[in-house]
Amino acid sequence: MDIYRVKPGAHVDLRQYDPADKSAFEGDKSAGEKAVEKLNRRLEILQELLFAEGKHKVLIVLQAMDTGGKDGVIRHVFDGVNPQGVKVASFKTPTPEELTHDYLWRIHKHTPGRGEMVIFNRSHYEDVLVVRVHNLVPPEVWRRRYAHINDFERMLTEEGTTILKFFLHISKDEQKARLQARLDEPEKRWKFNVGDLGERALWDDYMGAYETVLSETSSAWAPWYIVPSNRKWYRDLVISEVLVKTLEDFAMRYPQPGENLDEVVIE
């Protein structure tokens, strides 16, 4: 899945990335879904081992346009993992207390501890995306934040956190279809927000903002993956493959008991 990893220093033009691509898997949807199920089972074992060993910290960042599939990834890719060791942090509009601090203050306290896996459903990148597109701060403010974010992520990795960042790349037509489905299907209407249409009108502005993010902040220590996400099963497959490979590379082991248990008899 390294074909989707953004190399440090690369200039990203999202028009060159096909959101319907599935070139890293030869099978059809049915085969892909079975592959995801197999990866789910492997991820369950690795996540339990991560928690038991208590040495590594894993941070997963999910960013996407509305309907891009962040919630779907959390439901399907992490289906079956132990919630004791996996947490989800969602970042909405900053609270009054959060606004009295620097923009990374509310982020840092949600980063993982040893043995934990934390998923950011949106993240600190909102402060160079929404903030930029809606002109909430002057350009000279959001422009310097790329360097802040790179330094912040470098510090986390140097302190033992592995960071994986996924941009769920969908087409504008696919977003239209998903928004329409929310209107047409009664069980999905609760997801529809008229305000999403205002954000959709700013599609080109968001694409420009994402291109800068992907170009400026994909580093050797905290890489971005541009995940083709028009096909939900393929999106889940790509992310699952990257996660399983990353955890397997830790070469983790279950901890040994602190005393000899061979002679223990339970009456």
Say which residues have a Cβ less than 8 Å from residue 42's Cβ, sequence separation at least 6.
Answer: 244
What's the confidence (pLDDT) of residue 112?
97
CA–CA distance from 149 to each of 4, 5, 85, 105 (Å)?
21, 18, 25, 12
Tens of pLDDT, residues 13-45: 999 999 999 999 999 999 999 999 999 999 999
CA–CA distance from 196 to each of 31, 54, 95, 129, 182 (Å)?
33, 40, 21, 15, 12
Say which residues have a Cβ less than 8 Å from residue 255's Cβ, sequence separation at least 6.
Answer: 52, 53, 54
pLDDT greater than 90 at residue 192? no
Tens of pLDDT, residues 76-115: 999 888 888 999 999 988 999 999 999 999 999 999 999 9
∠ at Cα 224 (31, 20), nearest 5°? 40
- Per-domain residue ranges of the chain: 2-248
Exposure string over 164-187, b if 16+ CB within 10 A, otherwise e: bbbbbbbeeebbeebbeebeeeee
Indicate the DSSP class of residue 5.
Answer: B
CB 239 within 8 A of CB 76: no
Fold assignment, 2-248: Rossmann fold (3.40.50)
Average pLDDT of the residues in 225-237: 98
What's the confidence (pLDDT) of residue 154?
98
Number of C-beta neighbours around residue 27 at 10 A: 12
Tens of pLDDT, residues 159-183: 999 999 999 999 999 999 999 999 9
Helix-strand-coil split of the chain, %, nearest 5: 50, 10, 40
- Residue 239 has phi, psi (to 5 degrees) of -65, -40
- Per the structure block, which two tokens stand in for 180? 């329409």
What's the confidence (pLDDT) of residue 260?
78
Integer-rounded Cα radius of gyration of the chain: 20
